[in-house]
A and B are shown apart, each in its own frame.
Chain A
Amino acid sequence: MSAQPRTPATRGIAFDVGSAAAEFARGAWELYSVFARTLYFIAKGKREKGATAAQMYAIGNKSLAFMTITMGFIGMIMVYQAGLQTQRILPDFTLLGATFLELLVRDLAASIGALMLATRVGAGIAAEIGSMVVTEQIDALRMCAADPIDFLVKPRFLASLVMTTALIVWAGAVAFAAGGATAYFAFDVPWRTFANLQLVDAGDLITGLTKCVAYGGAIPIISAYCGLSTFGGSEGVGWATTRAVVSSSLAIIALNFFISAAALVVFPK
């Protein structure tokens, strides 16, 4: 290279790609660090009475109505579309309910439910922690010798692990009931034919529950990381919230792909 001083105009594409990669690697490392510290404080941290329960209420109970409505509609839409799809090939609806239930247990309940939770819970966590950062409450916590990870992230993580699983089980039940009603009214499938458990096996159940735990852990960690890295006033809080929703959703879609592919290998049909 010549000794010419580099100006922004001559940086070129290699600079852009390199700085994006470095940025990504730094983000991934910090995310991992938040996760590792959360696990550390679960084992070693101070126990604050009622903090996890309060978060469970905020994450779980307050999301119940939202989850019920969205997953009810998802159940109706999916059965309606699947019914239309079946109608075009062979009008035989006897396995509609069984197939839907299998799909719901293995994938849809966990993945769509977690996408909903990522928008509600993820945005909530990032907005709350981000506001605390810009109003310097996090620094105040540090001054009081309370680690923000121990005090803020740990209860949210534990609460989300439990409540995501609970909400997804509930959401799956709602979606199945709504689907059964749609099958009855749109395609005249009786409830007894629809509620057919024969296709659900242990592999499906294990896959679904693995997804619940993975998503339940990923959402609070990613959102808390986005919240903690907020800077710059009210616009920063908005940015952090946006980033939390987008990153959690992308993480869910990527995790879904890897867990589903692994399940295809481990539990072949």
Chain B
Amino acid sequence: MTTTQPAARATKLFAAAGASFLSAAETAGGMGVLFGRVLVRMFPPRVDRGELRRNLYKMSVKSVPIVIVTALFTGAIMVIQAAPIVKRLGAEGLVGWAAGFGTLREIAPLLTALMISGRVGANNTAELGTMVVTDQIDALRALAIDPISFLVLPRFISITITLLVMTIYADALALFGATYASRALIGVEPQAFVHGLTGGLLGFGDVANGLLKSVVFGLVIALASCHFGLSTTGGAPGVGKSVNATVVASAAGIFVLDYFVSFLLG
């Protein structure tokens, strides 16, 4: 290191930048190819019903507890953060609207997606990754079963449906938590809170905006988790690395797409 010439150091920097660009391109390309393969099998849908039902149960029903906890706390936090702003404007009747706007459009879909990405996405990668390192995918191929329609397509559909349903659920629970948190913490009665929600400043468009985002987030989590799961190499440490890559890629993808979807919908 001490004798490295400036030119050599610059080359190393370019090499590192190029390598990380190549690996990002490889990931994006891999996900694109996987998405294409899934789409081809979607029309007409060739999906294993039993596998779909198993995955829906495992991903949706089993995620209900963490979604409940996350949503209730999130609603309460939204009220705590909106309280000083609303008080400053002297409009305590608006706290329902202020907390509701942020919750429905942004925070509920975003936090639900992050939690589902941690639970479902990571778990899905671990499961597929384990199948890869124990040669179960090759065994499927040897039995002439298409791994994409047997394993990936049901997971793809399940994750997207899970996120949509859980976001609807989280919206409702977060608003419920916010209603009672505002009574306990800043003394706004539930009637006033609900009036702020339904008083005409919030419309179905705000809810639809959040739900559309949740579908996009679901696709991102599904793509990332299946891609990294299927491209696992190298035993138990490899599975750990794949799971790590999935949660990082999902989180980054969720934030970046969140911005573009918000901006496009306006």
Residues of A near B52 (CB, < 8 A) are none
Instruction: Encode contact with B along A40-78: 1 for CB under 8 Å, 0 otherwise.
Output: 000000000000000000000000001001100110111
Cα distance A65–B76 in the bound complex, in angstroms: 31
Given contacts A123-B248, A234-B134, contact A242 B240 (CB under 8 A): no
Contact present for A120 and B248 (CB under 8 Å): yes
> How far, in angstroms, from A10 to B69 measured CA to CA in the complex?
30
Report the nearest B residue to A126, measured CB to CB. B240
One of A73, A119, A126, A257 near B256 (C-beta < 8 A): A73
Is the beta-carbon distance between B201 and A88 smaller than 8 angstroms?
yes
Contact assessment for B251 and A119 in the assembled complex, using a CB-CB cutoff below 8 Å: yes
Known contacts A124-B244, A234-B133, A238-B129: A77-B258 contact under CB 8 Å = yes
Give A121-162 as 1s and 0s: 1 = Cβ < 8 Å from B's Cβ atoms: 001101110110011000000000000000000000000000
Distance in angstroms from B240 CB to nearest chain A CB is: 3
B93 to chain A, nearest CB (A): 12
Q: Is the CB of A242 within 8 A of B236?
A: no
A123 touches B122 (CB 8 A): yes
Residue pair A250, B70 in contact (C-beta under 8 Å):
yes
A25 within 8 A of B: no
Q: Are A242 and B243 in contact, with the CB atoms below 8 A? A: yes
Q: Which stretch, B27-35, B37-45, B79-87, touches the partner chain A?
A: B79-87
Residues in chain A near residue B85, CB distance under 8 A: 99
Interface positions of B from 240 to 259, Cβ below 8 Å from A: 240-241, 243-244, 247-248, 250-252, 255-256, 258-259
Q: Enumerate chain A residues within 8 angstroms of B240, measured Cβ to Cβ.
A: 126-128, 130-131, 237-238, 240-241
Give the B interface residue count (CB, 8 A): 58
Across the interface, which residues of A come within 8 angstroms of B235, CB to CB? 234
Smallest distance from the beta carbon of B114 to chain A beta carbons, Å?
6
A76 to B261, CA, bound (A): 12
> Hey, which chain B residues are within 8 Å of A237, CB to CB?
126, 236-237, 239-240, 243
Please state if A238 and B256 are interface contacts (CB–CB under 8 Å): no
* Contact of A242 (CB < 8 Å), options: B70, B87, B123: B123
1/0 per position for B113-131, CB-CB distance to A under 8 A?
Answer: 0110111001101110110
> Considering the chains assembled together, what is the distance between the CA atoms of A233 and B105 in angstroms?
41
A85 touches B114 (CB 8 A): no
Indicate which residue in A106, A234, A257 contacts B239 across the interface (CB closer than 8 Å).
Answer: A234
With an 8 A cutoff between CB atoms, is A209 at the interface?
no
**For residue A2, which residues in chain B have a CB less than 8 angstroms away from its CB?**
none
The total of interchain contacts (Cβ-Cβ below 8 angstroms) comes to 171
CA gap between A169 and B70 in the complex, in Å: 25
Residue pair B70, A241 in contact (C-beta under 8 Å): no
Residues of B within 8 A of A249 (CB): 70, 114-115, 118
Contact of B81 among A106, A120, A130 (CB under 8 A): A106
A234 engages B243 (CB within 8 Å):
no
Residues of A within 8 A of B64 (CB): none
CB neighbours of A245 from chain B (8 A): 118-119, 122, 247
Q: Inside 8 A of A6's CB, which chain B residues have their CB?
A: none
Q: For the complex, what is the distance from the CA of A73 to the CA of B237, rounded to whole Å?
A: 31
Contact A70 B251 (CB under 8 A): yes
Q: Shortest beta-carbon distance, B231 to chain A, in Å?
A: 14
Bound Cα distance from A81 to B98, whole angstroms: 11
Query: Does any Cβ of B come within 8 Å of A256's Cβ?
Result: yes
Interface check B88, CB cutoff 8 A: yes
Q: Please judge, given known A-B contacts A76-B259, A77-B258, A88-B201, whether A123 and B244 are in contact too, CB under 8 Å.
A: yes
A residues 225-261 in Cβ contact with B at 8 Å: 233-242, 245-246, 249-250, 253-254, 256-257, 260-261
With both chains docked as a complex, state the minimum distance between the C-beta of A66 and any C-beta of chain B, in angstroms: 6
Q: Once the chains are docked, how many angstroms separate the CA of A234 from the CA of B258?
A: 33
**Chain A residues, CB < 8 A from B84:** 102, 269
Which of chain B's residues have a CB closer than 8 A to the CB of A119? 114, 117-118, 247-248, 250-251
Q: Smallest CB–CB gap between A233 and chain B, Å?
A: 6
* Contacting pair B115 A246 (CB below 8 A): yes
10 A-B pairs closest in CB distance: A238-B126, A127-B240, A245-B118, A234-B236, A131-B237, A242-B122, A241-B243, A269-B84, A119-B247, A234-B239
A-B contacts besides A66-B252, A85-B102, 11 pairs, CB < 8 Å: A73-B255, A73-B259, A77-B255, A115-B111, A115-B114, A119-B247, A131-B237, A235-B127, A238-B125, A246-B118, A264-B185
Residues of A within 8 A of B (CB): 66, 69-70, 73-74, 76-78, 80-81, 84-85, 88-89, 99, 102-103, 106-107, 111, 115-116, 118-120, 123-124, 126-128, 130-131, 134-135, 233-242, 245-246, 249-250, 253-254, 256-257, 260-261, 264, 269
**Chain B residues at the A interface, C-beta cutoff of 8 Å:** 66, 69-70, 73-74, 76-77, 80-81, 83-85, 87-88, 94, 98, 101-102, 105-106, 111, 114-115, 117-119, 122-123, 125-127, 129-130, 133-134, 185, 201, 235-241, 243-244, 247-248, 250-252, 255-256, 258-259, 262-263, 266
